[in-house]
Structure formats: C-alpha cells, structure tokens
Structure 1
C-alpha cells in the first residue's frame, strides 16, 4: 500500500501499513503495543537515572558514559511514545529525525563504552582525557546520520512510526541496519578479546597474597560482567526489526502483521533492556534497607561545612624582633584583613 497521503486521511494512510477500514483493529493493536513498549523503556531509563543518582554512580568516566547512554535511550523511547504515524509533513520528518538521531546516539555510547573498556583493561591506557572526543563522536556521528536523510527528503510514514520510506530501501540499510550489525559484531569480538585477556591476567597472578592484586582481580570481573551484555541487548532487540524490514524490501505491498507486531514489540525496548543489564550490577544494593540508607544519605545528610570567607593575604619577610625600626613593625606575616 502506498505510503503517501490520501485525500480522505483514512487509517491505511495514517499508519502507512496493511490496514484497511475493515481491518483497522490491527492498526490499533500495533499502535498500542508501540506505546506500551516505549513507555516501559521510559520507565526503565528513569529507574536507571534514579539508581545512578541514589548510589552516586557518576564519578568515573565509565559511569558518566552509562549516564549518557541512559539519557540517549530515554529520548529514543520518547519517539516511540509519540502519537500515531503522521501524514507527510514536518512533524513526521521531525519524528523520523528524532528517532534516527537517538537510536544512533544510544548505539554510539554502547560502542564507546566497549572501546573505553578495551583501552583501560587491554591497552592499559587512562582514558579520562578522551571524554571530549567521546562526546563529539556520540553526538556528532548521529547528527550526520540523521540529517542526511532529512536533507534528501527520505523521511515519511514507514510503518508504525515515521522513518525512511519504503521507496528508499537501500538508504534504510545503509543508514542503520548494515552499520548496526557490523558494529554489534565488532563489539562482540572486542568483548571476547577483553575476556580472554582478563582471564589470562587473573591466571597469571599467583604467589604470595597481594591485596592490590586481589583488588584488581575483583575490579576486572566487576567491570566486565555487566558491560559485556550491552551488544547482545542490541542484537536481540534488532533481530525482528531487521527481519521485518527485509520482508518489506522484498514484498513492499504485502506486509505481515505478525512480523510487524514483533517489530514494534522489540524495537522500542532498548531502554528497558539497558535497565535490565544495568540492574545486574545493582540488584544486590536495592534492598529496602539499602534504599532507605541511600535516601537518608542523599536527602538527610547532617554534615555541615562552615563557610570560609577569604581575606587579603600579604607575604613578607620574617620580622626582625630585635629591630627598633617602626617601619618594620608595620609588616604582617601571611594575613592582613585590611591590607591594600
């Protein structure tokens, strides 16, 4: 069915799908599922941000990167909660650009987290100085990838939401699906290498007990354990969208309801899946007692630090206590509140 607008604005045009007036309940199901999964992802991202704030997990560079990933996934979920697919207009273009930008941004942060872990643990390079470069890559690349289709007029109704239209199948795979699965494959290979190197180092540390060595063992395991699942999250939630888009490319006039349903069920789940992976490292600290103590620490901290009022300081030579000169008596050591 054509994706362009019709004079009557019927259900088929609004959704850009297989829907007809006699079969509009399927469109309603697709829209309801899309909004539900997008809402669950929003809740998952808000949960992650709350736990990060509660446990003060935003100090190291790796933790800050997780925060940025969560923010990108949050705004990505907003696109799926937006209203139904629109006619070809500026609002539809904005939804498509928004979705492409934050999809790419979330993927970029996952890739950069993998790269940062590789540089830290395998190459043993301190990466704090790279934080500006990370931000440029994580927001700059998505800006380019989302703006090119916008300037070329490729956006429009593309199913349950606005994206690159069916008439530009090659652009769909060139802009998103091909880079997505190449990057997922590279990340999986990178984590496999990181785990092999970490295991070799753990087995090579032997001899007398060394607290620092044991701390590094624990640190290696703790850093790798939750982060290694992020590429698999993207792989799982992207499989059905890929299958559905491949089917759309081969049979553009014959979409399958079940594939479309699986597409809208899995595609918006990045935020919720990220929250689940993040929770693997946080569930043990989220007991009722732990939450109460953390909230008390955040909201009811009784520690008070007195305010320091600086005054002018003047440094001079040591006074000669045996001198009878009145000029030298005017010198002050270190502190002169009324100095010039």
Structure 2
C-alpha cells in the first residue's frame, strides 16, 4: 500500500504528460505544461486589458481602430485555445482544440495583414478605405475558416506536442497550412512597411515654401507615425521564430525533441496576437494617458459624466398675439413668440 501511495504522483504525471512528447521526463513535461498555461494566461489577461483600454479611451471610432479591436478579440480567443486543457489524447476534444487554435491563429494573422494593407492604401495610395470595412471582415474571418477546416478533411488533427494541432505524421501539412504562409506574409509586410516608410520620408523632405503652422504640425505628426512601423512585422517575426525552429527540428528528428526548443516554443507561441495588439493598439498618445490621473479621468468620463452635447437645429419663428396662442396642433419645430397688444417697447439707446 505504501509503495502504491509513493508511486501514484509519478503515475499521475505520466498520464498527464503522456501525449506531450516522447523523450521528456515527468519534470520536464510538467514544466512545459506549466509554462504554456502561464504564458497563455498572461496573454489572455493582456488581451482583456487591451479591450478595457480601448473601451476606456474610446479607441473604436475610425476604421483602423475598429480593426485593432477585431485583432484584439482574435488574440483573446487564440489565447483561450492555449489555456484550453493541458494534455488531450486524440479525440473530439483534441480535434476541437486544434481547429480552434488554427482558426484564431489565422484570424490574428489576417487582421495584422489587413491593418498593414489598410495603412498602405491610406498613406501610399492616398485612398480612403471605409467602404472596405465589410470586405475586411469577410477576409479576416472567412479565410481562417477555410484554412482551419482543410486538415479536418484528412483527420490530420491530434496530439502535437504541448497542445493539439496537426500531428507529427503530417509535417507537410503543418508547413503548408501555417508556417509557409506565415513567413511569406511576414516578408510581404516587411516590404509593405518599407514602402510606407520610404513614401512618408519622401513627403516629409519634399515640403517646402513659406512657413505654415498646420503643415509643420502634420510634418511632425507623420514623422512620429512612421517611427514605430518597423516594429510591427518584427514583433510577429520574433514570436514566430522559435516555434518554426522547433517544428523544423521535430520534422527532421521526430523522436528526439529538445527541451530548450520546446520551452521557447511554449513561451512565444501564445504571444502572437497579444504582442501585435499591444504594438498596434497602444500608440504614443494612449501610453501617455495610462497614468493614475488619466485613468481616473477617463473612468469618470465613462461612468459619471452624463452630459450630452447635441446639435442645435434652429427653426422658423412666427409671432402671434398672446390671447390666440394655440400649440395643440403644432407638430413642427416652429418657435412661437407671442406678444401682447399693450406691450410697449422702450428704446434703451445704443
């Protein structure tokens, strides 16, 4: 009995980590699962904080801001997939987690690409894009649905390391569904941002003539806008590099996983959407408002200030004697001014 009691924790660890990966002992397996859960939880909380900041400071009016909201929502549900369970055997629950993970990974990537495209059209092509709002949503939610459903056709989803995804027996599908499109799109985004920065710098340097305060203000503003652009694709590249290296190693050495690579994989993979939501969503003005005083004022404005500013629409004016005033059938916006026949107006001078 005593020996059974001593062996039970090890047995629980073995069952808990049976589908993580071969070659890891119980301690390494437990560390990997704990790190994955902690990173995914941090990403989940970060996405909630981002949504709170967007609501608090009303960053949801323009098309670009609405796209950032959609990116943050996709990142939130992507983090849920990583938090979802710890180790599932092959079955419906594992397949659902794998599909969920693929769908929202693709959705977050799609919104990052569309935000980049929208900025390129606005700045380089100098074209307004509000009419593309519905098209953006169709692409950002529709394309991921197609990509996530393709592995279901061949039943390729199953245990794939620290979570359920495309199994080790279908490495070509892993790279065809995710990694090759991912790094192709990252490369295109880098080219796109390089073009945006080049055009913006050219416009800044080409302004000349007499001093114009508005033009100088716009010049400084444009210069501030292009400074963080280099970080947008870089963030996605950094959080995608370790998962790519680990999956490449798994493809060439499927029976010999490396603990350090797997640990880096579970540290960076859940941060895809969160990292981009922070980079895109928290601009310099928003960061400047994230102080105790700024948050208090914003909360007071959201929760306590009921003042409404409405546009005044002047109507026509008609005069009527005081004794003949009848407003019972007046349904228009006419302003009625009455006067008395005995009223005498005095001249008060200039």
Distance 1:336 1:84 in 2: 65
Please state if 1:171 is matched with 2:148: no
Distance 2:187 2:75 in 1: 21
Post-superposition offset of 1:49:
0.8
Gaps of at least 5 residues in structure 2 are: 1-11, 311-328, 335-350
SS at match of 1:233: helix
SS at match of 2:158: strand
Q: What residue in structure 1 maps to residue 194 of structure 2?
A: 192
Post-superposition offset of 1:220:
2.6
Q: What residue in structure 1 maps to residue 133 of structure 2?
A: 131
Scaled by the length of structure 1, the TM-score of the pair is 0.84
Gaps of at least 5 residues in structure 1 are: 1-7, 307-331
Moved more, 268-277 or 285-294: 268-277
SS at match of 2:18: helix
Q: Note the 1:16-31 alignment, pairs <5 A.
A: 16-19=20-23, 23-31=25-33
Q: Note the 1:84-163 alignment, pairs <5 A.
A: 84-163=86-165
SS at match of 1:172: helix
Moved more, 164-173 or 272-281: 272-281
Contact 2:20 2:29 in 1 (8 A): no
Deviations 1:180-225 (A, max 9, x none): 0010011011101100100000111122232442343244334434
**Root mean square deviation, CA, Å:** 2.8
Post-superposition offset of 1:334:
6.8
Post-superposition offset of 1:274:
2.8
Post-superposition offset of 1:302:
3.3
Deviations 1:35-67 (A, max 9, x none): 011011111111111111111111100011111
Gap change, CA 1:220 and 1:69, over 3 Å in 2: same
Contact 1:248 1:254 in 2 (8 A): yes
Distance 1:269 1:153 in 2: 27
Contact 2:23 2:255 in 1 (8 A): no
Scaled by the length of structure 2, the TM-score of the pair is 0.82
Contact 2:75 2:277 in 1 (8 A): no
Aligned residues: 310
Q: Which of 42, 56, 67 is the aligned partner of 2:44? A: 42
Q: Which of 293, 298, 301 is the aligned partner of 2:302? A: 298
